[in-house]
Amino acid sequence: MAILAIVFFSCKKGSNAENAGHPQSEKVNSKSAVVPVPGATIINFSGYTWQVKNITDLAVGGPGPNYWANSSVWVDAQGLLHLRIKRDPATGRWNCAEVSSLQEFGYGSYVWKVEGAVDQLDKNVILGLFNYKSGDDGHHEVDIEFARWGNSAWPNFNYTVYPAYGDPATRKFNTYELALNGTYSTYKFQRNSQKVTYKAYHGHNELEGNSFYPWSTPDSGFPVSTEALPVHMNLWLFNGLAPSNAQEVEIIIHSFQFTPA
């Protein structure tokens, strides 16, 4: 039941109006431009352009729901992307961080090099690295999520692949208890027309001796998305709840790399 609950929560990204209307690509490996939200802050990171989610007024937005702030995202002088959950002293609100690519990506490999104790995140804090098509929740999504979904007894590392069509409950997933050797780690998935394959690594490398938690969907028969999709990276709060330890959180993404198949 705990695993079922974990997967239920992981699918609740939310249909965000600020991401609606993205054009679809007819060629799965193309990088067609996504139309940014009017007035959105645009940043450059790892050779791609990204829009920053910013919702700080009375309304909140998914996932969560949460407040989202430009000030929770920045690229430093070394070109590293910082995602931060921080409390606004003026309002008391906890502002979360998300960026989404203005390019769409299809079949190939997706690799993130991450700095931070992602194995020690508070039970209410979630880091997501994923492909996601807005407006069709439960479909066209490939996730790596570091999350306990509000329960400190649940495993904290999650792989999930949602089908391109049909019942979202047919998604494929696996969960693990993550324990890192230090604060540098690398995460990868490979997507083709038949399956999605995952693997993680200690350190900023893809050495087989440093790999852990390999997993994949079935070799055939599962409807993997055939569409080119934006990439998202977000750091957010489960159900909009403050961190149970009341501590701000910062994760640094050193790089994102896509290699087409």
| 108-115/125-132 β-pairing | unpaired
Domain count, the chain: 1
Check which CATH number belongs to the domain holding 249 and give it: 2.60.120.200
* Cβ count near 65 (within 10 Å): 18
Residue with tokens 């959105």, as numbered in its chain: 40
**Structural contact between residues 61 and 55, judged by C-beta atoms closer than 8 angstroms:** yes
Instruction: Please give the chain's pLDDT, 261 residues, in tens.
Output: 344 444 444 444 543 333 322 223 334 554 567 898 889 999 999 999 999 999 977 778 999 999 999 999 999 999 999 999 999 999 999 999 999 999 999 999 999 999 999 999 999 999 999 999 888 899 999 999 999 999 999 999 999 999 999 999 999 999 999 999 999 999 999 999 999 999 999 999 999 999 999 999 999 999 999 999 999 999 999 999 999 999 999 999 999 999 999
| 94-101/125-132 β-pairing | unpaired
Tell me, what's the pLDDT at 13? 54
**Structural contact between residues 231 and 100, judged by C-beta atoms closer than 8 angstroms:** yes
Q: What is the largest CA-CA distance in the chain?
A: 53
The counts of H helices and E strands in the chain are 1, 16
Of 138, 129, 140, nearest to 189 (Cα)?
Answer: 129
Tell me, what's the pLDDT at 113? 98
Q: Output the pTM of the full model.
A: 0.90
Q: State the Cα–Cα distance between residues 92 and 86, nearest whole angstrom.
A: 10
Parent domain of 200: 2-260
Tell me, what's the pLDDT at 60? 85
